[in-house]
Amino acid sequence: MFKKILIANRGEVAMRIIYACRELGIKTVAVFSEADEDSLHVRFADEEMRIGPARSADSYLNVPAVITAAELTGADAIHPGYGFLSESAYLAEVCEACHIKFIGPTPQVIRLMGDKARARRVMRKAGVPILPGSDGPVEGEEKALKIAKDIGYPVIVKATAGGGGRGMRVVRAPGELSQAVKTAQREAEAAFGVGDVYLEKYVESPRHVEFQILGDHHGGMIHLGERECSIQRRHQKLLEESPSPALSEKMRRKMGSIVIDAAKAVQYTNAGTFEFLMDPDGRFYFMEVNTRLQVEHPVTEMVTGVDIVKEQIRIAAGERLYLKQSEVTFTGHSLECRVNAEDPETFVPSPGLIRVFSVPGGPGVRLETYAHSECTISPYYDSMIAKIITHGRDRPEAIARMKRTLEMTVIEGIKTTIPLHLRILADPDFIAGKVSTAFMDRFLARPSGSRLAEAV
């Protein structure tokens, strides 16, 4: 087992890693930027090294600085957390070269999954359902119609050179296809200089459902169920839960075994998350694999009782998984709210000095944070200051617990997104489990009159 782990991260996840290390009797090294001099993870780590100025590129993303700090402190492993260098095949390789264990998958797997096009091809070969598409520009009306028929309507026409929503057209019936392709081609030519378009299945109001896996270096591989992360604003998750209200036990078993087979096919090791879009008919389409710990991992931990960070460390140290798939149990329901230092209506960042920070306890409540009374939230890093997680016997209890916990949370000095979370929790669609990635757009687009009514 490792003697000393360097945490190549900051804030709330650095604290999370310290919890696991302390429980395992492993010493910790915190690396920090000038802006994080007084940060909680620095205070609680056994050793610390200031590695750069506030700017992430020169500190938390600075591979030579991180490795140098590891060598100077004699750390035998590095946990990269999430974000920053957690999916850097380069860091993983440098670690290998310096005989420091990188707590995560191999550089080859990280690189493979980081190449989205390659990952799709490999996953398709491994039997994972992927979003069907024309796999190249469409040539001619007849070919387009055939491909669209194979894919199944609705389809979306997209510019190959494009992005940002331009040169895109949703087509719901064969009669509209020709016109849509011609228009999209014209738009693409005008906007991007290249008139090529391709077809892809259009998933109406999809759910974002992801599966957590753990693989050891002895062939052991298990999944820990799924998380529903559909409540997103601009592709940033706000609220996550496990299990997904839309999955049956049968669907979980089926997708779980598909994911395990795919992970084994690429010789995946350590923790990973397979992300899918799920359409209203319960069909799954592969999006990508995140080769790291995820922010929302606590909801899986609450439902399965597995400490994912400790398992990451154990796996990296060469130990076998302590659970077989048949021993993985799912109990109750868990929710997580990401508390951001932002205005709950305008989402303008709200850094500054937190004068009061108080989160209640009680059964089924878990707090993950680096914030405390009298701490300063700096403007240099992402705005998430805390995660509040609840667990209940069932979804209604988990929701009730989250509601009363947020209502009794006091954070003064900065603005937070807690009022927004409370409004989401009171939403009838959310309560009914009727969520999709379109939820937040609908929610935020509602006239303020009805939002006031909800707040009351």
Partner 1 sequence: MDLDQLKQILDLVREHDLSDFELEGEGLRLKIRKSGGVAAEVPPAPAAAGAAPVASPPQASPAPAPVSAALAVTGPVDSVPQDVELAIVKSPIVGTFYRSSEPEAPSFVEVGAMVKKGQVLCIIEAMKLMNEIDSEYDGEVVDVYVENGQPVQYGERLFAIRTT
> Among all residues, which ones are annotated catalytic?
292
Nearest approach in angstroms of CB 100 to partner 1 is: 12
Q: At what angle do helices 116-125 and 249-265 cross, to 10 degrees?
A: 110
CA-based nearest residue to 354, from 306, 386, 309: 386
In the region spanning residues 88 to 117, those forming contacts with partner 1, defined by CB under 8 A, are 98
- Under rule CB under 8 A, residue 5 binds partner 1: no
- Under rule CB under 8 A, residue 38 binds partner 1: yes
First to last CA, the chain: 53
- Under rule CB under 8 A, residue 374 binds partner 1: no
- Under rule CB under 8 A, residue 372 binds partner 1: no
The encoded tokens of residue 182 equal 């011609």
- Under rule CB under 8 A, residue 52 binds partner 1: yes
Nearest approach in angstroms of CB 377 to partner 1 is: 19
The encoded tokens of residue 95 equal 């670690």
Considering beta carbons, is residue 57 or 445 the nearer one to partner 1? 57
Q: Which stretch binds partner 1 (CB under 8 A): 46-54, 268-276, 343-351, 380-388?
A: 46-54
SS3 state at 56 = helix
Q: Tell me if 436 sits within 8 A of 229, measured CB to CB.
A: no
Instruction: Work out which of 9, 59, 294, 390 binds partner 1, going by CB under 8 A.
Output: 59
Considering beta carbons, is residue 23 or 38 the nearer one to partner 1? 38
CB neighbours of residue 344 within 10 Å:
16
Supply the DSSP symbol for 322.
S
- Under rule CB under 8 A, residue 47 binds partner 1: yes
Nearest approach in angstroms of CB 83 to partner 1 is: 20
Q: Are strands 207-215 and 221-233 parallel, antiparallel or unpaired?
A: antiparallel
In the region spanning residues 65 to 84, those forming contacts with partner 1, defined by CB under 8 A, are 65, 67-69, 71-74
The encoded tokens of residue 74 equal 């004699």
Nearest approach in angstroms of CB 64 to partner 1 is: 5
Size of the site for partner 1 (CB under 8 A): 24
Name the burial class of residue 79, with classes exposed (0-12), middle (13-18) and buried (19+) by CB atoms within 10 angstroms of its CB.
buried
- Under rule CB under 8 A, residue 36 binds partner 1: no
CA gap 416, 388 in Å, rounded:
13
- Under rule CB under 8 A, residue 34 binds partner 1: yes
CA-based nearest residue to 306, from 276, 339, 271: 271
- Under rule CB under 8 A, residue 9 binds partner 1: no
Nearest approach in angstroms of CB 67 to partner 1 is: 6
Nearest approach in angstroms of CB 243 to partner 1 is: 42
Instruction: Work out which of 13, 15, 26, 29 binds partner 1, going by CB under 8 A.
Output: 29
CA-based nearest residue to 384, from 414, 426, 355, 422: 414
CA gap 6, 100 in Å, rounded:
10
The residues, any chain, with a CB within 8 Å of residue 176's CB and separated by 6 or more, are none
Q: Which stretch binds partner 1 (CB under 8 A): 64-72, 181-189, 259-267, 428-436?
A: 64-72
Residues near partner 1 (CB under 8 A) are: 29, 34, 37-38, 42-43, 47-53, 59, 64-65, 67-69, 71-74, 98
